[in-house]
Amino acid sequence: MPYQELTQKIVTPDIYSSYFSKITCQRAWMQIDLDALTYNVTQIKNLLSTGTALMAVVKADGYGHGGVTVAKTVLKAGANALAVATLMEGIELREAGVNSPILVLGVTNTPEEVVANIHWNLEATICCLEQAFMISRTLSQYKKQLSVHLKLDTGMSRLGTPWYQGTRLIKLVHKLPYLKLSGIYSHLSASDDPDKESIELQHQRFETVVSDLKNQNKFCLHFANSAATINYPQLHYNLVRVGLALYGIYPSPHLRSQVSLKPILQVKAKITQIKTISQGTKVSYGNQFTSKHSMIIAIVSIGYADGVPRNLSNRLQVLIHGQRAHQIGAITMDQLILDVSHVKDIKVGDIVTLIGKDGEQEITANDWALELGTISWEILCGFKRRLPRVNIQNIPNKNK
């Protein structure tokens, strides 16, 4: 899409004023395709068992895509509830006018946090007996009811009460005043692994607890994350929690055949200078790269302060004019350098695609993750807030 056309379609990002929206694309930006996000919600809902609702996980600023915009878009597309990791993430959504049920997945450990949950109408997670007592005491002081979800540790060894103590905790919560038990859930440790052994063990432990419940339909039982939602319908219960798949990323390559998803993110930056260097010229900090011949190089206005990992130095590839170009030298805080010797008609102001499509070529967040030996989640959450989010919607785009 030509730059001039792109700037005419900008929706002001949540974190920028109308003044700054005028210069959003002068340096570097993230382009968020809200139509693709809507598409992904529809595809995921088509997988769900009858009677299963969708909880969209929008923690970590919507996995780096802009939490408020993502939340409003997925709810409009058919999501039934939202999940965040922290109390402040829930408050941010409420302040932005989001009225759907919001579950805080993190622990509520203090009376002040309980009061905030009450005030902002957020649902809290209970992980242990002590926490349940503290919340109940606080609620009794204010004579206010709070909706809570109990988390069982079925094999993740992270938050949650041990599954074999789950029945005891459930009975206790039923007796404590002002606690409204709305849900019971757990979290899979290896749902993207083709080996089903650990999944089946965790499922068995979860079933051991919830099968004793009377009137199960009164509670939201949720166990499935993105991978399990796609691949294990027996884990759907009456609610699923989907994060990564919403953003068009497959938790594992073997799941591609199960559902069609579209990446919603593109990361772009502009060339700010072009120059020619001679053979033997050292490039960037630490002299990590020395030219073996005369080269045309381009300086691009994005760096590790924006979320481009410095460990990708001399390994990163980008797209320019539908072609791949190699990054050279150390990636710096605000800029990086490319070898563009092979790219014709290159000029200052040209757009470089770091993640996304340009013509027939595509680079994904997963490509970065594989190069770095990490996971796509970390890449997506690594983009900083100084990198504007430009929301694109209802626009024909040949690069989708």
Could you list the pLDDT tens digit for every one of the 400 residues in the chain? 333 333 334 444 444 444 444 556 789 999 999 999 999 999 999 999 899 999 999 999 999 999 999 999 999 999 999 999 999 999 999 999 999 999 999 999 999 999 999 999 999 999 999 999 999 999 999 999 999 999 999 999 999 999 999 999 999 999 999 999 999 999 999 877 777 888 999 999 999 999 877 666 688 999 999 999 999 999 999 999 999 999 999 998 888 999 999 999 999 999 999 999 999 999 999 999 999 999 999 999 999 999 999 999 999 999 999 999 999 999 999 999 999 999 999 999 999 999 999 999 999 999 999 999 999 999 999 998 889 999 998 865 544 4
What are the residue ranges spanned by the domains of the chain? 3-31+264-392, 48-247
DSSP state of 12: P
| Cβ-based neighbour number of residue 382 at 10 Å | 17
Tell me if residue 178 is catalytic: no
The catalytically annotated residue of 59, 72, 270, 357 is 59
CATH number of the 3-31+264-392 domain: 2.40.37.10
Q: Which listed CATH number (3.90.180.10, 3.30.590.20, 3.40.640.10, 3.20.20.10) goes with 48-247?
A: 3.20.20.10
Give CA torsion, residues 64, 353, 369, 396, to 10 deg.
60
Query: CA-to-CA distance for 70 and 76, rounded, in angstroms?
Result: 10
Numbered residues of the known binding site for substrate: 158, 333
Directed axis angle between helix 129-142 and helix 111-119, to 10°? 60
Burial class from Cβ neighbours inside 10 Å (0-12, 13-18, 19+) for residue 360 reads exposed
Query: CA-to-CA distance for 341 and 348, rounded, in angstroms?
Result: 14
The catalytically annotated residue of 76, 164, 275, 285 is 285
Instruction: State the DSSP H helix or E strand holding residue 377, giving kind and residue range, or none if neither.
Output: helix 376-381
Numbered residues of the known binding site: 158, 333
Helical residues (DSSP H) of 176-293, grouped into ranges: 197-210, 226-231
Both tokens of 224, joined, read 């499935």
Q: Apex CA 57: angle with CA 55 and CA 59, to 5°?
A: 150
Tell me if residue 19 is catalytic: no
Candidates 78, 126, 85, 77; CA nearest to 102 is 85
Query: CA-to-CA distance for 94 and 122, rounded, in angstroms?
Result: 9
Query: CA-to-CA distance for 314 and 286, rounded, in angstroms?
Result: 12
Candidates 392, 388, 397, 265; CA nearest to 16 is 388
